[in-house]
Amino acid sequence: MSPVEDKSLHIAMYPWFAMGHITPFLHLANKLAEKGHKITFFLPLKTQPKLASLNHHPHLITFIPVPVPRVDGLPEWAETTNDVPPQDRPLIMIAMDSTRDTIDSHLAQLKPDLVFFDFAHWLPGLARKYQAKSVFYCASFMMPAVYFFPQARNKPINYALEEEDLVHPPPGFPDGIRLAAHEARAMAHALKLDFGGEMTWAERSMVAYKECDAIAIKTCREIEGPLCEFATMLVNKPVFLAGPSLPGHPNSRLDEDIDGWLKGFGHATVIYCALGSECTLEKDQFQELVLGLELTGKPFLAALKPPINCKTIESALPEGFLERTRDRGMIHDGWVQQQLILNHPSVGCFVTHSGPGSFSEAIMSKCQMVLLPQAVDQFLIARLMSCYMKVGVEVEKRDYDGFFTREAVGKAINLVMEEESEVGKEVRANHAKWRELLSKEGLEEYYISQLVQGLHGLLGPK
């Protein structure tokens, strides 16, 4: 390590109020703290207890809970996207925007060297005020950032991508990684929605890209090699690959009830099904999913939110479902310890929406993977996992509207779980290969040391 790299940095982090963003920011904070850097981590007040067990260096990573201001229409308890239906996410964005003065006062006092952010596009301006550098940290892969970036398709930066554009990948994409018609339609629509403060999500991202001093991405050359070079050429500022930032082992034990229940089943026999912290299915799709789990005849633990317009999960279950599956099914509608569940010896299959956080946790586990993406980057990550890495199988959907049946869910699970299945053997072998490659000693270290070197470069000689 060079003497410059040796110098400890003080980095403030303020991720979007979504568990799928806060969690990977914290994983990165842990990697940086391992190297002796000091992190000030701003997060919504009531979210802190969920994150405490993931802070592996409390002497170097300081949580600063930020009270979430009241916003008209936002329930009093709501703080993150996990607490609200999709249509209310812009209210969470408005609430986060309203914390600007609080963050300003903290930065004035703390004077960090750098600020890592994502959706709070006003942070580069605040950072500049206190001579700090700002880094836009993309907690997903490089692929979605490039796919949804108009300049990757030789369009002006403010061009609104349409369905016809989005069904085709930009040049240089690996084979098979593209959106289906219904996904392209959903994305084109989402890109035009007001995401709070009369700005679309795309407009916020463009301001963030433009204003920041550098971009860091939670990825590595081992997975996204050729795209990394392409993305670096697209933007006129430093792009750092922060590495896969795989999660360390949580400092907590699995809830006794869940652990006890799982222990009642044989090795790798239980299906764990969870669609991240945000996804709310339509009721008919929710029913097809749980009926698909039932069809397999295998034990299952499903951690799902009540579907759209249903107050409770029980009220949304198909008739007689609970009675029929009482001996082998657990349906949970709260927060579960996903990482610990994935590493439980009884769990053998993960039905996942392919969120980037779930990807990292799944790839480090030994579970077989069934992919059921629901939004944005998840579509592309599912393609990456099924077509390129070949570590999982996607549930078949209708191309024009994305509808999936219970039979399709059951078929994908059986394909990966049955001992004699050729597909099952192939994804198991590929999964083992990728797990070994990504957890290879020195790999994370290499990316973190490159990142730290880049950050020192931004700060210049002091």
Ligand X SMILES: C[C@@H]1O[C@H](OP(=O)(O)OP(=O)(O)OC[C@H]2O[C@@H](n3ccc(=O)[nH]c3=O)[C@H](O)[C@@H]2O)[C@H](O)[C@H](O)[C@H]1O
C-beta of 258: minimal distance to ligand X in Å?
A: 11
Angle between the 201-211 and 181-192 helix axes, to the nearest 10 degrees?
70
Among 14, 15, 21, 379, binds ligand X (CB under 6 A): 21
C-beta of 36: minimal distance to ligand X in Å?
A: 25
Query: Is 56 within 8 Å of 21 (Cβ atoms)?
Result: no
The smaller minimum CB distance to ligand X, of residues 297 and 334, is found at: 334
Query: Is 88 within 8 Å of 95 (Cβ atoms)?
Result: no
C-beta of 126: minimal distance to ligand X in Å?
A: 23
Among 97, 183, 213, 278, binds ligand X (CB under 6 A): 278
Residue nearest to ligand X (CB): 20
The smaller minimum CB distance to ligand X, of residues 307 and 355, is found at: 355
Sheet holding 368-371, edge to edge: 329-332, 300-303, 270-274, 347-352, 368-371, 392-394
* Positions 95 through 154 that interact with ligand X (CB under 6 A): 139-140
* Positions 350 through 409 that interact with ligand X (CB under 6 A): 355-358, 361, 375-378
C-beta of 8: minimal distance to ligand X in Å?
A: 28
Among 40, 99, 277, 405, binds ligand X (CB under 6 A): 277
Stretch that binds ligand X, among 105-113, 183-191, 312-320, 332-340 (CB under 6 A): 332-340
Binding string, 286-305, against ligand X, x = CB under 6 A?
Answer: -----------------x--
202 binds ligand X per the rule CB under 6 A: no
C-beta of 307: minimal distance to ligand X in Å?
A: 16
Annotation marks residue 10 as catalytic? no
b/e per residue 243-276 (b: at least 16 CB within 10 A): bbbbbeebeeebeeebeeebeebeeebbbbbbbb
Strand segments, DSSP code E, in 283-366 are 300-303, 329-332, 347-352
Q: Which helix (H) or strand (E) holds 445?
A: helix 443-459
The smaller minimum CB distance to ligand X, of residues 186 and 274, is found at: 274
What is the total count of residues that contact ligand X (CB under 6 A)?
A: 25
Those residues with Cβ within 8 angstroms of residue 46's Cβ, 6 or more apart along the chain or in another chain: 77, 79
For the stretch 449-453, contacts whose Cβ atoms lie closer than 8 Å and that sit 24 or more positions apart, written own/partner, are 449/1, 449/5, 449/35, 450/240, 450/241, 451/32, 451/216, 451/240, 451/241, 451/242, 451/243, 452/5, 452/9, 452/32, 452/35, 452/37, 453/2, 453/4, 453/5
C-beta of 22: minimal distance to ligand X in Å?
A: 9
Q: Which of 83, 97, 118, 165 is catalytic?
A: 118
DSSP 40-96: EEEEEGGGHHHHGGG-S-TTTEEEEEEPPPP-TTS-TT--SGGGS-GGGHHHHHHHH
Stretch that binds ligand X, among 66-74, 231-239, 271-279, 431-439 (CB under 6 A): 271-279
User: What is residue 426's three-state secondary structure?
Assistant: helix
Annotation marks residue 118 as catalytic? yes
C-beta of 52: minimal distance to ligand X in Å?
A: 13
Stretch that binds ligand X, among 13-21, 66-74, 199-207, 418-426 (CB under 6 A): 13-21
> Which residues contact ligand X (rule: CB under 6 A)?
18-21, 23, 139-140, 274, 276-278, 303, 335-336, 338-339, 355-358, 361, 375-378
Which residues belong to the active site?
A: 21, 118
